[in-house]
Structure 1
């Protein structure tokens, strides 16, 4: 199993690194779209839509993502780095739901809509999902999967447009939360977080994950200030726009939402009687298993950035 996991991880890194290294947006955008569409395929199979339906759902994720990107002039097909520049200082920037955050392309309303959907919907699903999730019409569950996956891809592409440093700062928040929760839970875990959904998770693990992400944000801000980076990180943007208290609250909120994404997918798998979302990634399960926490964190991170004035 370990050998299989290592081989799969090395192949993924070998495929991903070239798309991250080039300035053009389209290699990363198309590669990530393929992964997110695969997650849509897995979502369909877990929610009563196997076979041809699953392929159509995966295709729908790609089509919806590309249509919104085109309508919002997100330069997916750019041959060079077309990173959005902040408005000139002589031209005041309007901060409103219909306007993109400073330096971004897609409007903040899109990300706040996703944030509301995740916060309210996630809370409802985790509270009552064990009883009601399978009673929700399959068509509605499939549409929800397409929407959540497409929003995550749009946020991921928008983050890459800002620069590699910004993108990695968002991704690493989720990874730090997961690592901190794992070791904190194993060491201090006593009180179960959601035993009916994921028996291994504990409140102590969640707290350890939050400590890990706060430490990560402090370290990343220091790196931004002392190293030459291609773009401000998520943490530097939050610090500049919201101050230290706002940064702390935002990082804690994003860490909490990463847990919600993880638990949401665990609930869906439990309802479907599956251990993994698929076996597309040998030794790692499915794509959805790897990106579940990112589904809420990616769009919500951009929603929070829309509060920043710089």
Structure 2
């Protein structure tokens, strides 16, 4: 299993890194469009569609991303997209977590699929816009999610006592959440120092927030983004638990499905763009 995970990770990096560091936006936008389309197929399957219907939903999502790319939104999307995603994630995410795996299926299948498509489409749009803003900017958002996840894992293992959402993800604890938030603040401090000492192609998320909101505004904004990364993870987990699935699919050998790898990123990217547009 470990060998399989490593091989899959190396293949993904070999494909992603050249697109990420390309001087133009469209290779990364097209590559992530394919990945988001696959995630749409997985979401459809988790919510009761099968066979051709699930594939069709993934194709519709990819086509919607393609239409946005053709319209030029992959470089400069309207800010209303980020704020719309913020409303959906904050209100919908809180409701979904409160409802849990037993309450989630109470929503109509059409609404569940539609909410997933909106979340995935705005996440792709935010990814493409973040890439067009610069490598330093997009990496700072990726690393925020990774730092929150890593710090939460180790903090939860060391200090975890109070379960966060045992019906959805029994391994998560409130202590892990606080540790993840602390990790994000440490990362921000280090990144701000590097932004001021190194030649970078763009301002990071942390520099943008500190310049526009000040440190007093940046800190709660980053804590909010760290919290929303947990919400993204929990929403995908409850969708899987509602149907008794361990992984969203087996598209990525050793890693599960596409949604399993990007769930925490889905709310953070559009919300980060929303906050940095203030």
Superposed pair shares fold, TM > 0.5: yes
Q: Distance in 2 between matches of 1:5 and 1:130?
A: 28
Moved over 2 A (4+): 66-71, 129-132
- Partner-residue secondary structure (3-state), 2:49: coil
1:276 aligns with 247
Alignment of 1:7-156 (within 5 A): 7-71=7-71, 73-74=72-73, 76=74, 105-156=76-127
Could you list the per-position Cα deviations for residues 146-170 of structure 1 after superposition, in whole angstroms to 9, with x for gaps in the alignment? 1111110000000000010000000
- Partner-residue secondary structure (3-state), 1:277: coil
1:256 aligns with 227
Q: Which runs of 5+ in 1 are unaligned?
A: 77-103
Larger Rg: 1
- Partner-residue secondary structure (3-state), 1:200: strand
Does residue 1:6 correspond to 2:6, yes or no? yes
When normalised by structure 2's length, the TM-score is: 0.98
Q: Distance in 2 between matches of 1:130 and 1:21?
A: 39
Larger fraction in helix = 2
How many residues align? The count is 278
Q: Which runs of 5+ in 2 are unaligned?
A: none
When normalised by structure 1's length, the TM-score is: 0.88
RMSD between aligned alpha carbons? 1.1
Q: Distance in 2 between matches of 1:105 and 1:29?
A: 13
Q: Distance in 2 between matches of 1:16 and 1:208?
A: 29
- Partner-residue secondary structure (3-state), 1:290: helix
Q: Distance in 2 between matches of 1:21 and 1:164?
A: 7
CA contact (8 A) 2:168 2:234 kept: yes
Could you list the per-position Cα deviations for residues 181-221 of structure 1 after superposition, in whole angstroms to 9, with x for gaps in the alignment? 00000000000000010000000000000000000011111
Could you list the per-position Cα deviations for residues 69-99 of structure 1 after superposition, in whole angstroms to 9, with x for gaps in the alignment? 444x23x5xxxxxxxxxxxxxxxxxxxxxxx
Q: Distance in 2 between matches of 1:30 and 1:254?
A: 26
1:178 aligns with 149
What displacement does 1:55 show?
0.8
- Partner-residue secondary structure (3-state), 1:61: helix
Q: Distance in 1 between matches of 2:7 and 2:80?
A: 41
CA contact (8 A) 2:102 2:242 kept: no
